[in-house]
Amino acid sequence: MRFDILTLFPEMFASPMGSSILKRGQETGAFEIALSNIRDFTDNPHRKVDDKPYGGGPGMVMMCEPVFRCFEHVAEQGPKPGRVLLMTPQGRQYDQKMAEELSREERVVIIAGRYEGFDERIRDGLGAEQVSIGDYVLTGGELPAMVVVDSVARLLEGVLGDEDSAKDESFSNGLLEYPHYTRPENYRGMTVPEVLLSGHHKNIEEWRREKSLERTKAVRPDLFEKYKDNSKYQENNREN
């Protein structure tokens, strides 16, 4: 798989994308990351890539020309990009389902840049999907682009080792995960719940399910409501 990232700060990607699991994934050929500097595609003598918004207001807006030209340069290299993402807090929310979809593409283009303002014609003209990693504002789209690459890459074959793979319970059933414990049994007087030491698989499973429900209800009532609705739906369908 190939990720193309269009950015004003390609140097930001070096250390997170060159460490640990993502480094190994690129070395084994599971995926590659191609960085393009949007600033290389402007004819402006000051290499300007943004300007003031029409209609007034604070902040700067990313201009069409360098992004269009950079995109076209990148798109020509290799197979047609399957998806084009524009990282911005105005987008739809990125989630595990979208990570799974993207992991089935041969090529994904991610446009980073000023996180708050892109000229709207960039989205329209490039058929880009506006995507947000969460309801907070960042200095640029670079960290969001890294989040997308990381979450997708770890789903690709040959990226995670055996030790880590399959460990994808979070969000897969719509609930938060149950609490984890590892050695020692007693740490500074804090002990592991008895049931986890019992070896009784059915009880362990029940305890985990209960804790998972409790935690989701307490921390993420939004997910809990969705989960309840889905379970009801499934139950109704089973009855029919």
Residue 137 annotated in ligand binding: yes
Q: How far apart are CA 152 and CA 159, in angstroms?
A: 10
Whole-angstrom distance, CA of residue 25 vs CA of residue 43 = 36
Q: Under rule CB under 8 A, which residues in 55-94 are in contact with a second copy?
A: 55-56, 58-65, 68, 89-94
Compare residues 4 and 142 and give the one whose CB is closer to a second copy: 142
At 190, phi and psi to the nearest 5? -90, 125
Phi, psi dihedral angles at 160 (to 5 degrees):
-85, 145
For the CB of residue 224, give the shortest distance to a second copy in the complex, in Å. 13
| Closer residue to a second copy in complex, CB, 29/56 | 56
Question: What is the smallest separation between the CB atom of 85 and a second copy, expressed in angstroms?
Answer: 14
Residues 105-134 that bind a second copy (CB under 8 A): 116-121, 124-125, 130, 133-134
Q: Are 67 and 111 in contact (CB under 8 A)?
A: yes
Per CB under 8 A, the list member of 5, 111, 126, 146 interacting with a second copy is 146
Q: How many residues bind a second copy (CB under 8 A)?
A: 97
Taking the C-alpha atoms of residue 229 and residue 240, their distance in angstroms, rounded to an integer, is 17
Residue 24, helix vs strand vs coil: helix
Smallest distance from a second copy to CB 45, Å: 15
Which residue do the tokens 């708050």 mark? 116
Shortest CA distance to 142 belongs to which of 31, 29, 36, 27?
36
Q: Which is nearer to a second copy, 65 or 105 (CB)?
A: 65
Q: Is the separation of the CB atoms in 227 and 174 below 8 Å? A: yes
Burial of 108 (0-12, 13-18, 19+ CB in 10 A): buried
Residue 4: Cβ within 10 Å count: 23
| Interaction between residue 50 and a second copy (CB under 8 A) | yes
Asked if 221 touches a second copy (CB under 8 A), the answer is: no
Residue among 28, 77, 139, 234 that touches a second copy (CB under 8 A) = 139
Cα separation of 193 and 196, whole Å? 6
Q: Decide if 105 contacts 79 (C-beta within 8 A).
A: no
**Toward a second copy, which CB reaches closer, 82 or 132?**
132
Q: Locate 66 and state its tokens.
A: 């360098």
Shortest distance, position 184 Cβ to a second copy, whole Å: 8
Question: Smallest distance from the beta carbon of 137 to a second copy, in angstroms?
Answer: 5
Residue 113 annotated as binding site: yes
Q: Which of residues 154-193 bind a second copy (CB under 8 A)?
A: 154, 160, 163-171, 176-177, 179-185, 187-188, 190, 192
Residue 239 CB, shortest distance to a second copy, in Å, is: 29
Point out the annotated binding site for S-adenosyl-L-methionine.
113, 133-138
Q: Give the residue numbers of the binding site.
A: 113, 133-138
